[in-house]
Amino acid sequence: MLVRVQQRAPSDATLAGDRRFSPSVPALWEEQPWPAFSIPGATCWWAALADSHRQAAPGKTTKKTAESVPVTPTEDLMREHGVLQRILLIYEAGARRIGGGEDIDPVVFTQAAETMRDFIHDYHEKSEEELVFPRFKKAGRMVELVEVLQVQHTAGRKLTDRILQTAETSRGNKEQRTAMIDAMQATITLYRPHAAREDTNIFPTLRSLMTPNEFEELGETLEKSEVAKFGNDGFEKVAKRVEQLEKRIGTDDLAQATPKN
């Protein structure tokens, strides 16, 4: 069974030239055999894991952390929404600064939109469309909501294409700057409620449509897909890439969002 082991992204990760996700980073995944559990009443693997930890080596003072506990599929999807929200903050700051007449290097917008395309559209949303939404349709649950969400994925891809096409001329005349601002603001308007509905309606309900084994298998499938697409340590690399963009657009200092009075 594949077990996700949390690791920090390499500290020297840089933005420049990192347009493709290199697989040459420390392993995020390790093949680890699970112990042979025989625990009456243990109906799921994480319950068995927790039980084995409690029973292991009584009297030992070895420090334990929860890092070896696999990421659940819903946690996985929700933290990907965190990346999405941070890209939206970059768009929001970019639109405000362009609108205020500032000169912003278009590469910031291009790389933010490329991350949106590669990580959100081509990976996260593809996972939702292939592995999450069909379960709701099959169960007849939240079908109208799922249909709207799916339509919005298509609209989101078009907006990202528009941002990519418009970024190069975002330093141009007023009309060109306005086109860039409009595309970014439309993306913000689309995705904030979209992600909020998935976080509060779709993902919490997903468990009720699946058996524990199916839920476990979904987690493994999502992780395998992430590794196949982005290599080991994929999420951490993407988060680091977004953090570098935040530094360039000025959204990296969280404290600036705190009211002064």
- Which residues are at the interface with Fe ion (CB under 5 A)? 128, 198
Residue closer to Fe ion by CB (options 128, 233) is 128
Question: Taking every pair of C-alpha atoms in the chain, what is the biggest distance, in angstroms?
Answer: 71
- In the bound complex, what is the minimum distance in angstroms from residue 76's beta carbon to Fe ion? 11
Q: Which runs of E-coded beta strand occur in the chain? A: 2-4, 29-31
- In the bound complex, what is the minimum distance in angstroms from residue 143's beta carbon to Fe ion? 15
- The Cα 223–Cα 72 span in angstroms is 10
At 61, list the tokens.
């003072």
- In the bound complex, what is the minimum distance in angstroms from residue 40's beta carbon to Fe ion? 38
Give the contacts of 187 (CB within 8 A, at least 6 positions apart): 88, 91, 116, 156, 159, 160, 163
Residue closer to Fe ion by CB (options 153, 177) is 153
At 110, list the tokens.
């291009």
Residue closer to Fe ion by CB (options 162, 194) is 194
Instruction: Supply the Cα-derived Rg of the chain in whole angstroms.
Output: 21
- In the bound complex, what is the minimum distance in angstroms from residue 125's beta carbon to Fe ion? 5
- In the bound complex, what is the minimum distance in angstroms from residue 22's beta carbon to Fe ion? 26
Contact 156, 191 (CB under 8 A): yes
Residue closer to Fe ion by CB (options 53, 138) is 138
Residue closer to Fe ion by CB (options 97, 121) is 121
Which residue is at the shortest CB distance from Fe ion?
A: 198
